[in-house]
Chain A
Amino acid sequence: MIAARPLAGAPRPYRFPDFSHQRLANGLGIWLVPLADRELVSIHLLTDAGAASEDEAHAGLAALTAQLLVTGTTRLDASAFAETTERLGIEVSSESSWDSARAGFTALGSKLDDGLALLAEMLRTPRLEAGEFDRLKAERLNDILQARADPGRLADESFLREVFAVDMPYGRLSAGTPETVEPLTVEDARAFHATHYAPNVADLVIAGAIAPDNALAAAERYLGDWGGMAPEHRTFEPQARGGRRIVVVDRPGSVQSELRVGHLGIDRHDPRYFPAIVMAALLGGTFGSRLNLRLREELGYTYGARCSFDPRRAVGPFTATAAVQTEVTVDAIRELLGQLERIREARPTEVELAEVRDFLVGVFPLRFETTGGIAGAIEPLAVYGLPHDWWQTYRRNLEAVSTEDVHRVARELVRPDEALVLLTGDTSRLRDELEKAELGPVEVVAAS
């Protein structure tokens, strides 16, 4: 066999596809990404109607409203709307996150006109019926029940609640909690739709098999006379609860503990964005990252360990994650915290940095293989107002990150001393050992 790694050939250049941006007279942003060699087209209609646009008393309303949209229009009831779209080969989705609501679909290019007409009808004249609202609300409440039985989802939700200061908007899932979802009514959804779905806060992204003139004409035809003015989302400054705490969410009988370790991170406009994502990848973003190498490939404690930032319009969490077998829980926490310490202590080697940076740079074209991937890449430009050359300069910005930059942002952004250590697991098997370990004050809470 051949002993040495083969030399690479000459790389072929890759550019993020060219796109255009304009506004219709009613303020609707139009982003067109024509891709001549594709069969499919992806349409995303983004609206500033995410959870940041609801008030805390109505937490979960944005998500329910987004979901309710696909249950028909004033012309087509839920059954007829599903039938009409699906017979075109179109599965319409509509969902929301903290920072936006997104409705859309991917379909054969020949279906662009029919599909856009139906999508526009759905956004402009949704049925918003009490019966379907009640059904979706019940399903949401059931889903929260299901989530709390799932150790990973329970840990995710509990981590947010414990890491943010009490009553911070981000201290919950964007879909709300049982307490806030239960009292919501269809009138709330109608009011939310009437207030927040409007062209001045919306962007239409069309990527794929399109002729730009035709796509623009279709957008004008179906959305050009969409009226209304929506207010902007509310703003807030997330605060942390702070301080090293060990919080155990009791889940008797668990054979693994789901660990979530972290604190607040960065927002989407943080100037340290590039060094931060490189640092997070080096620490826990790839198979060969420090967390996965140590906890999985050396110790065998877990099927996988990783970490990431969740940057939003305001500061989102930084979280390290692993599901470890119950017997090694305390040692796994020590190891994980140890890796957070270690990345602060010294610069990574040039070789270690190069591996991660080259991965992020090299994998770039792979993220945009699909029309959906390309439409998705336009979203942060539309939602966060990132510069239009964001993707053209993206790889250069990654390449500029040095070992010193990684070390600097690690010291600023990774703070094990004030990390929340949250786990879902079998308290009866963990409590004594956790107390003895003196990793911080131990609190046990029941899985609600």
Chain B
Amino acid sequence: MAQVPIQRHLLENGLRVVLSRDPRAPLVAVNLWYDVGSKHEKPGKTGFAHLFEHMMFQGSANVEKGQHFGLVQAAGGTLNASTWLDRTNYFETLPGHELELALWLEADRMASLLPAMTQEKLDNQRDVVKNERRWSVDNQPYGSWDEKMQALVYPEAHPYHHSTIGSMEDLSAASLADVGEFFATYYAPNNAVLTVAGDFETDEALAMIERHFGPIPANATLPPPPDMTVDPLIGRDVRETVPDQVPLPRIYLAHRVPVFGTDAFDALDVAADILGAGRASRLYASLVREQRLAQDASVFVFPIVGGASMLALWVTARPGVSTEALEAATLAELDRLASDGPTDADLERVNNLHAAHVAGALERISERADRLSMYTCLFDEPERINTESSRWAAVDADRVRAALRDSLRADNRVTLTYVPAEAAP
């Protein structure tokens, strides 16, 4: 596999900079990860990190509301941002000769968001975010699954216990004072990673970065990271049945597992693909194609780093199939992989699929930039982008078996069963 080039720099104010030059296309990607996500939210403030992300597009000292999008798009660029449990990222991809525009826009809001904030803008984006929640959660079949899952996998005091989208009540309570405090606390250069990938001249890019980000003061009193300590196992068999407006029952299973970045996580990542990636995967082959119990099956691990991660899966029942039968058949496949381990063919299959997926993802400079920011923000090690495939290839049958035996236990499982509302007991 081709290696992604990496150059690291550290500004005096603590901003970590990663450059990855690739002049094949006349495009450049700018990507910022702030080390703040929904896990940093205080009680009563759920959803705030994400609402704040929206406020970052409402203008700053030198940028009018709407101009951030307007300027980047008029330059022929695309842009967006997202908030998750551990972090918030902001990104632009645009023609290489407009690199400085993106750097200026990002620096202006990192330095001077607050002068542009108004109650009217906050009220507007609060309404937008509430509609985002209605659209993705409240008005969506099975839409509450990840919120419920997190609440059941993590204890109430744990920062992953609540969802990133947050509750309507907490969104209603968010104030301009909260915006000011959150900005002052977390939006500082020493709490961020800036990656630039694509077509640029290194010296020029570094000079631009220094010019725009260099003057922004560090936050000398960054708060310590939240306490993410949690027992490695849930400790009991947790079950909930959820009546919903769905035509077909669906079972979600989740387990508390070691965090992203550990050897065990890599083994579970491989296991998730053996179980769920492609038409030759264990769950598709067994539950969908052969036994015809399930309409679909999906398995995934969460690349999160705070105390414990999750291995989760869902299977949707075909009409007439009982959730008991589907659950039993699903668990039988998990048990079979945990006890017998994967075959050489399983490992060859998922390694080759994974290599093709990684190569496909890294064709896009935006994805390269995002992964470089991720590995730097979470592990201070951007070089991990180049060792992902070898870490996968190093996972052998014994490691898969051991990781599954440790984590896929009945006393470490949340079972969430969605059933059609009219059929609920």
Contacts and interface: CB of A to CB of B under 8 A. Distances in A.
B281 to A, nearest CB: 8
B25 A14 contact: yes
A5 B104 contact: yes
Contacts of B170: none
Closest 5 pairs (CB-CB, A-B): A362-B76, A300-B127, A89-B352, A9-B97, A12-B26
Contact of B73 (A6, A253, A287): A287
A107 interface: yes
A167 to B, nearest CB: 27
A446 interface: no
A183 interface: no
Given A302-B131, A364-B76, A10 B353 contact: no
B131 A142 contact: no
Residue among A1, A82, A372 with max Cβ neighbours from chain B (10 Å) = A1
A324 interface: yes
B292 A135 contact: yes
Interface centre among A83, A298, A301 (most CB of B within 10 A): A83
B128 A300 contact: yes
A40 B359 contact: yes
A286 B66 CA distance: 12
Given A3-B61, A12-B26, A91-B356, 8 more contacts: A39-B359, A40-B356, A70-B279, A288-B70, A323-B135, A362-B77, A363-B73, A365-B25
Interface stretch (B178-186, B360-368, B380-388, B396-404): B360-368
A370 interface: yes
Interface in B84-104: 93-101, 103-104
Contacts of B280: 79, 82-83, 86-87
Given A256-B131, A300-B126, A87 B356 contact: no
Interface centre among B97, B126, B128, B365, by most chain A C-beta atoms within 10 angstroms, is: B128
Interface of B: 1-2, 24-27, 61-62, 65-66, 69-71, 73-78, 93-101, 103-104, 107-108, 111-112, 123-128, 130-132, 134-135, 138-141, 199, 208, 211-212, 215, 245-248, 278-280, 285, 288-289, 292, 295, 316, 318-319, 345, 348-349, 352-353, 355-356, 359-360, 363-365
B247 A146 contact: yes
Contacts of B66: 288, 293, 297
Nearest to A40: B359
Interface of A: 1-14, 37-40, 70, 78-79, 82-83, 86-91, 106-108, 132, 135, 138-139, 142-143, 145-146, 148-151, 253-256, 286-288, 293, 296-303, 323-325, 354-355, 358-359, 361-366, 368-372
B107 to A, nearest CB: 7
Contact of A255 (B138, B345, B355): B138
B246 A13 contact: no
Given A355-B74, A362-B75, A363-B77, A149 B246 contact: yes
Contacts of B96: 9, 12
Nearest to B289: A78
Given A6-B100, A87-B345, A287-B69, A362 B124 contact: no
A366 B279 contact: no
A150 B140 contact: yes
A237 B315 CA distance: 42
Interface of A: prevailing SS: mixed
Contacts of B104: 2, 5-6
A363 to B, nearest CB: 5
Nearest to A144: B247
Nearest to B1: A39
B318 to A, nearest CB: 6
A38 B1 CA distance: 11
5 contacts: A40-B360, A78-B289, A86-B279, A86-B280, A359-B73
Nearest to B76: A362
A12 B27 CA distance: 9
A142 B319 contact: yes
Contact of A107 (B26, B77, B285, B356): B356
A8 B128 CA distance: 33
Most chain A CB within 10 A, of B24, B100, B279, is at B279
Interface centre among A132, A145, A288, A324, by most chain B C-beta atoms within 10 angstroms, is A288
A89 B250 CA distance: 30
Given A12-B96, A14-B26, A297 B359 contact: no
Nearest to A368: B25
Nearest to A369: B364
B131 A8 contact: no
Contacts of B2: 39
A90 B246 CA distance: 34
Contacts of A362: 74-77, 94-95
A89 B101 contact: no
Given A10-B97, A12-B199, A86-B353, A359 B74 contact: yes
A25 B364 CA distance: 37
Contacts of B140: 150-151
Contacts of B139: 151, 254-256, 323
B279 A2 contact: no
B363 A40 contact: yes
Nearest to B104: A6
A295 B95 CA distance: 30
A370 B363 contact: yes
A108 B96 CA distance: 27
Given A8-B101, A303-B132, A286 B73 contact: yes
A2 B100 CA distance: 12
Nearest to B61: A1
B97 A142 contact: no
A135 to B, nearest CB: 6
A297 B126 CA distance: 11
A365 B26 contact: yes
A364 B66 CA distance: 22
Contact of A82 (B61, B77, B278): B278
Given A2-B104, A142-B319, A370-B364, A288 B98 contact: no
Contacts of A135: 288-289, 292
Contacts of A365: 25-27, 95
Contacts of A83: 280, 345, 349
Contacts of B316: 146
Given A150-B141, A324-B131, A11 B26 contact: yes
A46 B409 CA distance: 47
A301 B127 contact: yes
A88 B279 contact: no
A253 B199 CA distance: 51
Nearest to A251: B245
A194 B2 CA distance: 43
Nearest to A138: B318
Given A14-B26, A255-B138, A1 B215 contact: yes
Contacts of A358: 74-76
Nearest to A11: B97
A106 B356 contact: yes
Contacts of A143: 295
A209 to B, nearest CB: 10
A1 B26 contact: no
Contacts of A301: 127, 131
Given A1-B112, A5-B101, A91-B278, A361 B76 contact: yes
A256 B131 CA distance: 8
A404 to B, nearest CB: 21
A2 B76 contact: no
A256 B215 CA distance: 45
A366 B359 contact: no
Nearest to B365: A369
A376 to B, nearest CB: 13
A324 B319 CA distance: 32
A69 B95 CA distance: 41
